[in-house]
Structure 1
Amino acid sequence: MSFGKILKIIEEKDFVEHNKKIRKEVLKVNKWLLNPRSLNRRKMLYVFRFLSKNAERKILNKHLNDLQFLFIHIAEKPKENRINDLKKYYNLLEEDVSMIKFLMYPKKFPPGGYEEKLKKYGIELYSPSVIFKKLPFKDYIDLYALMTYIPLDEKNPFIQNLLDEILKIDPLQDKKSYFKKVIDIYKSLNDFEKHILNIQLKNFSYYHYKLFNTDSIKGIVIDGSNVVRYEDKDSLQFLIDMLDNMFFGKIVFFPVHIVFDNNVKHFLSTEDRKVLELLAEKKRVYFNSPADEMIVYISNKYDYYILSNDNFKEYDVNENKLLKIKDFKFDN
């Protein structure tokens, strides 16, 4: 493929939108990595979307404070030997180390594995400096957007339709039997077809990517009123954001149930009440007072996790199934 054809691709509306989304995500992670003291488990789960499964496994197996220390060490003085300390400590692949350098300094370092990812465009033999002369790129984020952009083949409507079906899967609405049906179709694909789908899923919804690429899928019940009133914010926004990130460590949550107290709307703004009305149309959103009774009932009946800051001491609850709201926050 010539540079002329690539110029046409990056002018396409779909690529422009893809590039905007990628830039927003990279700059968000960049801000976190350059301020390592702000890193928490939830933010690292977000960072892992840029790294390999090897990096995710190695980093999760060690204490977060160790990772913060190593990133602080790099941020204070970004020298190669300090980056190598990170590589050695976690036994990271070279591609992951390069990706971390890119995420921390996207104007200075190209993303890891860019040579391999650019093969589909026929320009893997060109150096980044030559690519930047030929293409109107501002920085390596534009290059990363090109790497991760795969327009689906219009001659293969099956792949496009399957992508649409996967992205439509709603953890608050769809049955487990339907999810199993779709994942069986996904598993029947060849490696190349899965690769194309997975790149698209990472771009559109990391939750759905995790859902189709993990062996640990569990149900969960969210204490909706507890989340809404978390830190006295009385807002639905945190809960809505949380629904896009229903994974924790190696676990991805499906299906998802939300239980609100009957009086929850009294704590919400007029705008949030309208959002709540739409949310209430979902099959697995309930209103019950006291909410705890229904939360515990669903959890015990189906052996689901519970997300709440309550301890449910007056109920018979498996403490190992209790997850705290702070573990789903991006900012501490």
Structure 2
Amino acid sequence: MIYDPEFLDRYHELQRKRSVIISILKNINSINLNNYKILIKNLEGRLKDKLKKLDISYFSLYTANLLYGKGALKARLNLFEEIGIMPNEIAEILFWANPQKYPFPNFQKKYSKHFIESERNRLKKSNLDDFLQLYALDTYKNAKNDFLIEIITEINSLKIYEFEKITWLRELIFELNPISRQKIKDSININEYIEKALFSKPVCEVILDGNNIIYWTIPPSLNNIEKVIWQLSQIKKLYFPFYIVFDKNVRYMYKSHIFNFPNVYFHSPADELIINLAISKKAKIISRDKFRDWDVNLKKYLLNIDI
């Protein structure tokens, strides 16, 4: 074993990546889009760019056959050419799945028995335990913890309404060790609500009564919406994601970038949609309206927030 601190950092980084990838590959037949994105984010070779353009259903089908199918490995690798992926690209999956047996692919060479045997000889001469350690040795001088840097860059580009992206990044962060999580937390510069959403587990979703919140101040202001979101970042529990419901006529009264958010709805009467969303999603409602015109008890749904 090599005890160079930079090598050990790189090796531990690869171990973390493998832990994430293995947890996804175990459920390859039912992989969802969030996990697919997490998997891609953790890959290191040319396969990463190929999968960004590949339909998830093809990846699931062909990879399940690669990992658990019958027949010669060469034939299962070659099948990927049908979907535009070369054997020495998809072989990265074999590496993560079983680094005791499969080396990281060299994109200048065919992923053949001869290549695997030559890498096994190199592993033996290096006096290392597996191909994960060998790959760490090959890459640690150039890697410089690129994995965490990529995550930090991705987080710093987040928009407050990118809930799907926030969700899969949170899942990725929770797979990391406490030291790495803290390093990310110390290095990001983002909206406080997004930060809370990344590092906390949500208790439930929340519906904002847009028109009602606008009139919390005199004069009425759309800025009240952003103040409410900020307050959500300050309280102990995480309510995520949030949805905003306005009456349809609000767009004739105000102009705002908020109206373009994908989590914003326009409905008249707004109360109808607010109530339906809260009940169907078991979400909280932020509003000073008591909804007395509706034959439903919403007391347990109301969340008290001041600005």
Q: Normalising by the residue count of structure 1, what TM-score does the alignment of the two structures yield? A: 0.46
Higher relative contact order (CA 8 A, sep 6+): 1
- Output the TM-score relative to the length of structure 2: 0.50
